[in-house]
DNA sequence: TCCAATATTTAGGTTAGTCTAAATATTTTT
DNA sequence: AAAAATATTTAGACTAACCTAAATATTGGA
């Protein structure tokens, strides 16, 4: 029904919409997709014809409900495959994304239904991101950035913002993964850096790190 | 490295080479791929430039060892995914092919290594076809067509030639699957039809059916 | 052998998705 | 409010993979 390129555009536009609440600019799409703005204009016009998004020249785009439907299904597939790779094939969480980028485009309703059941209908992927249900519904999430916690506050790691290998490997080195409990022991006002307690270890993290870890407080 | 179209051509040419022992004609490829001979000529010339096959105008093509390598790897992936779909996701053997056609193009050495291990390094796919190893080696198979058996001979079903849903569903109805033991009770010289014993049932099958079931005798 | 049928290639065109360069619109600065 | 900077679109081209129609080669039968 939709080509690989079309699916990737819809997915990217969906993510950008979530991030910035509102219409998405041509340049933002181009940058995220590592392509040229002129290519984006072409594709956006095509997707507008297909009623997947609304588009006014020079004004940016917004997905229609149809476009959101496609986007969330692709995201659902991406995240379910990531769970498969980590849970069943024992991939490390920092090496599943590229493979999932390919698997997310395989077309088969039955496949995804069965895969979901086989994995035990997981709610989150290995990076803590929620898996949309068959109807594209995503549970509103209750999480904040570690950098928002104050001294003495505790939290449980529920996800990461940055998902590069480098960052995920850093977290591994510090024994931080989904479900890890942590507490802010000290916070430097000047640069936002923190001392945190993880298990029996205490160590220093920069603001950059703290801004890329999602935690749930209770 | 190779596009989806290129992989499909190499795979098809490999299969045709196996079937007819010798160079493969442009028209044979076109027919099998449901495309036009002129398109085949284009692609074959491109693949010849890439040293994946040898090609002399009007004389047909033969895969080089490089081409065979690519082809067998795609076939390996196809068949491993078919095993996954049947063994793990409980697909029926008549509905895995289309999905495997897509999955076979996912590029990741680690994925296929892990998948193979996860499935217990199977030697055959759900249709009884052998799974090439990492080096493309396929065990020479010891099988014959049910239609070649003489009266009174026994055999075990080890595969099927035809893999359409219709045929596979017919086999299911008759309780014939990989591993099923059968014996020829009678054979009609005139049309090649047979009466066979399968479990506690005896029934008539036409020559067409018998020519699409592979058996191993012992 | 030679001709008609068949197989194959070539020529030229199409579509999807990309690009660069140029034109135009919008936004920011002065 | 204009000029300058930035964002976006348009125009024109390119490649991969396909197609149709026409040209050319091969082959099997009289
Ligand atoms: Mn991912
Ligand atoms: Mn993820
Ligand atoms: Mn198959
Ligand atoms: Mn098979």
The Å distance, CA of B214 to C1' of C26, is 71
pLDDT at residue B205 greater than cutoff 90: yes
B101 beta partners: none
| Total-model pTM | 0.88
Ligand 4 centre distance from Cα of residue B163 (Å) = 8
pLDDT at residue B57 greater than cutoff 90: yes
3-state class (DSSP) for residue A183: strand
Tokens of A163: 């998902």
pLDDT for res A16? 97
3-state class (DSSP) for residue B94: coil
Q: Give the span between the Cα atoms of A100 and A113, in whole angstroms.
A: 17
- Residue appearing with tokens 């086989």: A118
- Which residues bind near strand C, taking a CB cut-off of 7 Å? A 3-6, 35-36, 38-39, 42-43, 46, 58; B 25-28, 37-38, 40-42, 44-45, 55, 57-60
A26 neighbors A60 (Cβ within 8 angstroms):
yes
Tokens of B68: 């065979």
Q: Which residues of A touch B110 (CB under 8 A)?
A: 91, 95, 99
pLDDT for res B63? 98
The Å distance, CA of B217 to C1' of C11, is 55
Name the most confidently modeled range: A38-42, A157-161, B16-20, B190-194: A38-42
pLDDT at residue B123 greater than cutoff 90: yes
Percent residues over pLDDT 90 in chain A: 94
B54 beta partners: B62
- For residue B126, give the nearest of B152, B89, B159 by alpha carbon: B159
pLDDT for res A93? 92
How does pLDDT run across A168-186, given as a tens digit for each residue? Answer: 999 999 999 999 999 999 9
User: Are the Cβ atoms of A90 and B114 closer than 8 angstroms?
Assistant: yes
Q: Give the span between the Cα atoms of B188 and A14, in whole angstroms.
A: 65
Angle between helices B26-33 and B4-20 (to 10 degrees): 120
Q: Give the span between the Cα atoms of B146 and B163, in whole angstroms.
A: 16
Residue B169 CA, chain-centre distance (Å), reads 17
End-to-end Cα, chain B, rounded Å: 44
For ion ligand 3, residues whose CB falls within 5 Å: B 97
pLDDT for res B22? 81
Tokens of B13: 């040419």
Angle CA B11–B156–B151, to nearest 5 = 115
Q: Give the span between the Cα atoms of A107 and A34, in whole angstroms.
A: 25
A203 beta partners: A196
Percent residues over pLDDT 70 in chain B: 100
For ion ligand 4, residues whose CB falls within 5 Å: B 82, 125, 127, 129
Mean pLDDT, rounded, for B150-161:
92
List phi, psi (to 5°) of A111. -60, -45
The Cα of B99 is separated from the nearest Cα of chain A by a number of Å equal to 7
Q: Tell me which residues of chain A have a pLDDT lower than 50.
A: none
- For residue B73, give the nearest of B46, B28, B112 by alpha carbon: B112
A54 beta partners: A62
Q: Give the span between the Cα atoms of B119 and B75, in whole angstroms.
A: 16
B119 neighbors B90 (Cβ within 8 angstroms):
no
Structural domain spans, chain B: 4-63, 144-216
Asked if CATH classification 2.40.50.140 holds for the domain at B144-216, the reply, yes or no, is no
pLDDT for res A33? 98
User: Which residue spans within chain B are E strands per DSSP?
Assistant: 53-55, 61-63, 144-145, 154-160, 181-187, 194-198, 201-205, 213-216
- For residue A198, give the nearest of A216, A211, A185 by alpha carbon: A185
- For residue B125, give the nearest of B155, B154, B168, B166 by alpha carbon: B168
Of the candidate CATH numbers 2.60.40.10, 1.10.10.10, 1.10.8.60, 3.30.930.10, the domain formed by A4-63 belongs to 1.10.10.10
How does pLDDT run across B102-122, given as a tens digit for each residue? Answer: 999 999 999 999 999 999 999
B197 beta partners: B183, B202
A54 touches strand D (CB under 7 A): no
Full 3-state SS string of A23-75: CECHHHHHHHHCCCHHHHHHHHHHHHHCCCEEECCCCCEEECHHHHHHHHHHH
Tokens of A129: 């991101």
3-state class (DSSP) for residue A77: helix
- Residue appearing with tokens 């409900």: A65
pLDDT at residue B142 greater than cutoff 90: no
Q: Which residue is nearest to nucleotide C10 (CA to C1')?
A: B38
């Amino acid at each position: 029904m939709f080509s690989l390129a079309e699916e990737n555009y819809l997915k990217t536009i969906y993510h950008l919409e979530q991030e910035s609440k509102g219409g998405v600019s041509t340049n933002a799409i181009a940058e995220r997709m590592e392509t040229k703005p002129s290519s984006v204009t072409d594709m956006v016009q095509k997707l507008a014809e297909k009623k997947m998004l609304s588009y006014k020249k020079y004004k940016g785009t917004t997905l229609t409900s149809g476009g959101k439907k496609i986007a969330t299904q692709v995201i659902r597939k991406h995240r379910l495959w990531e769970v498969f790779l980590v849970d069943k094939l024992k991939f490390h969480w920092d090496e599943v994304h590229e493979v999932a980028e390919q698997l997310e485009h395989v077309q088969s309703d039955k496949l995804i239904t069965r895969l979901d059941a086989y994995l035990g209908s997981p709610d989150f992927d290995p990076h803590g991101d929620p898996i949309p249900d068959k109807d594209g519904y995503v549970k509103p999430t209750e999480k904040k950035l570690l950098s928002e916690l104050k001294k003495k506050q505790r939290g449980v790691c529920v996800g990461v913002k940055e998902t590069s290998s480098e960052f995920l490997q850093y977290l591994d080195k510090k024994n931080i993964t989904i479900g890890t409990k942590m507490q802010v022991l000290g916070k430097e006002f000047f640069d936002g850096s923190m001392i945190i307690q993880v298990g029996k270890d205490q160590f220093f993290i920069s603001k950059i790190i703290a801004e890329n870890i999602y935690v749930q407080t209770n």
